[in-house]
Amino acid sequence: MAREFTSVGVVGLGTMGAGIVEVFARNGIDVVAVEISEAALERGRANLTGSTDRAVAKGKLAEADRDALLGRVTFAVGLDALHSVDLAIEAVPEHLDLKQRIFAELDRVCKPEAILATNTSSLSVTEISVATARPNQVIGIHFFNPAPVMKLVEIVRTVVTSADVVADVEALCARLGKVDVTINDRAGFIANALLFGYLNHAVGMFEARYASREDIDAAMKLGCGLPMGPLALMDLIGLDTAYEILDTMYRRGGRDRRHAPVPLLKQMVTAGLLGRKSGRGFYTYERPGSPRVVPDEQTPAAAESAQADGARAIAKIGVVGSGTMATGIIEVFAKTGYEVVSVTRGAEKSATVCEAVKTSLNKGVVRGKLSEADRDAALGRINWSATLEHLADVDLVIEAVVEELSVKKALFASLDEICKPGVVLATTTSSLPVIEVAMATQRPADVVGLHFFNPAPIMPLVEIVKTIRTSAETTATARAVCAALGKTGVVCGDRSGFIVNALLFPYLNDAVRMLEASYSTTDDIDHAMKLGCGYPMGPFELLDVVGLDVSLAIQRELYLELREPGFAPAPLLEHLVTAGYLGRKAGRGFRDHTSR
């Protein structure tokens, strides 16, 4: 039977420590909250009362419950106050020597049967445990910030942690209403090991001026449904904290270059640009600690205004293709008020596309998102054709044909002959080099990538891919068109994966590698990323939806172009695809979908 925890000690009352105190006290457990000095103790007390007062103001905590919660907390200076607790958990800064000193002192102070826990997010629990004479009673209990809200707890066992200690802590997490994942002591555990490789990659993308900070963040929020963009999240975490986590993971995790901190990160930390807590990081904030972003010298508002002034007038659109993407793009433009020429191969395909657009628009009417008059007006703006010659007088052509370079190049060579001068020629490719398509024409300055996300009528993001030959006027026109459609256009260079796929798929590949190493299960890894990081889907859920074969193809392209060893497709992914495990569409992937 699991032991009963009646009193818990918490060492360190910063944001995380105070949150952990609140979690225990909310659930009827007496807490001894300890700091190093009276001043630090008062700051910790203010952190706790501020959090509980906000909960009361939001109606999430009754005043009586708040008072009872605070009544369970005893504040003290010094570790001697923890002599009778059943569990002591430290939540001090991520410095190994500091944690080892604290654990050596806890070992001296706490009763022999007490469990000693660390909230470390990246350091070795094993190295911390050897500072005590009871390493079998030392465990990692990694809460996520803010601790009262986030459901996930990573329970980290070392090679000598007692099985009874693990079971007792798992039972305690259940009592706290948390979802736990129990894992071995490895650099970054689950969530940080997957999260920080992605964050570091985003910083590298910004450092290389591949895309603006706003566009990188918007791409991942709108393209993947993430709660925050990677650079805004780095500011929230703290750039100094992020640097320490990455550096620790790099040194402890096999010196994977994906975890080697990008030089810009070290420079910003040295310059005191630590994120929200210092008032400035990748963004500038109203004041230190404020979440409100204010304009600064990097804000692209003036540049965007100038670009808008240089945009070409677009009234008539040509869309080439008959698939789902082409159908969605036709619908989006027609509903917005543009005249559209739809070109397909033959009358039969044209009729199929026409029927698909009508069906989608009718669904909009049924759902109350579109009036019958608006539907009819949109259909009236579409002209159906089976020949490219009908694109002679359009202002913008968007290609949405099969992802084969030879097919696209041949199409663009034909468009170059047919379309009038000044027409913007756009490809919807998600993986092919836009420059190769552009160079099939005599007007590469007029060629741009417009990567819509599926389904185009719903997804708010478009990646605007400029090549080294794309003119500023063409890019500005693409931005203006996206804005007119009510879409967010993010501008990036012509590189494999653009923004979203280049950041998303290496993260998914890292998750497969983690599973391949038998470090954790598909369910626990998915839980960690959904509950610990707020992701809408876990990596294996997402891989099954996207298709393992699609993921493998994208990962291969990224690896071939960037030659980053960490981007090499995980062998497990290759083996599953070879065996026909392709995800939902095949009925089986990382999970069995045959009964769903």
Report the C-alpha gap between 226 and 118 in whole angstroms: 29
H/E run at residue 35: strand 30-35
Query: Strand 179-184 and strand 488-493: pairing?
Result: unpaired
Q: Which position among 7, 47, 51, 121 bears the catalytic label?
A: 121
Question: Is 143:169 a contact under the CB 8 Å cutoff?
Answer: no
Report the C-alpha gap between 245 and 466 in whole angstroms: 34
DSSP reduced 3-state for 402: coil
Phi, psi of 478 (to 5 degrees): -60, -45
Collect all residues with Cβ–Cβ distance below 8 Å to 453 and sequence separation of at least 6. Answer: 223, 459, 461, 462, 500
Collect all residues with Cβ–Cβ distance below 8 Å to 282 and sequence separation of at least 6. Answer: 206, 213, 231, 232, 234, 235, 268, 275
Report the C-alpha gap between 279 and 290 in whole angstroms: 7
CA-based end-to-end distance of the chain: 38
Question: Is 182:170 a contact under the CB 8 Å cutoff?
Answer: yes
Collect all residues with Cβ–Cβ distance below 8 Å to 509 and sequence separation of at least 6. Answer: 551, 555, 567, 569, 570, 573
Report the C-alpha gap between 447 and 423 in whole angstroms: 9
Q: Which position among 7, 142, 201, 331 bears the catalytic label?
A: 142
Q: Is 454 annotated in the active site?
A: no
Q: Is 192 annotated in the active site?
A: yes
Q: Is 593 annotated in the active site?
A: no
Provide the phi-psi class of 4: left if phi over 0, else alpha when psi is between -120 and 50, else beta: beta
CA-closest candidate to residue 398, choices 446, 361, 436: 446
Q: Which position among 22, 35, 90, 154 bears the catalytic label?
A: 154
Residue 207: alpha-carbon gap to chain centroid? 18
Q: Is 520 annotated in the active site?
A: no
CA-closest candidate to residue 195, choices 167, 169, 218, 220: 220
Collect all residues with Cβ–Cβ distance below 8 Å to 302 and sequence separation of at least 6. Answer: none
Q: Which position among 51, 192, 509, 520 bears the catalytic label?
A: 192
Q: Which residue has the tokens 């033959």?
A: 346
Question: Is 415:403 a contact under the CB 8 Å cutoff?
Answer: no
Structure tokens at 258: 């994906």
Q: What is the 3-state secondary structure (H, E, C) of 101-141?
A: HHHHHHHHHCCCCCEEEECCCCCCHHHHHCCCCCHHHEEEE
The number of C-alpha atoms within 13 Å of 22 and in the hemisphere containing its C-beta is 29
Question: Is 116:35 a contact under the CB 8 Å cutoff?
Answer: no
Active site residues: 121, 142, 154, 192
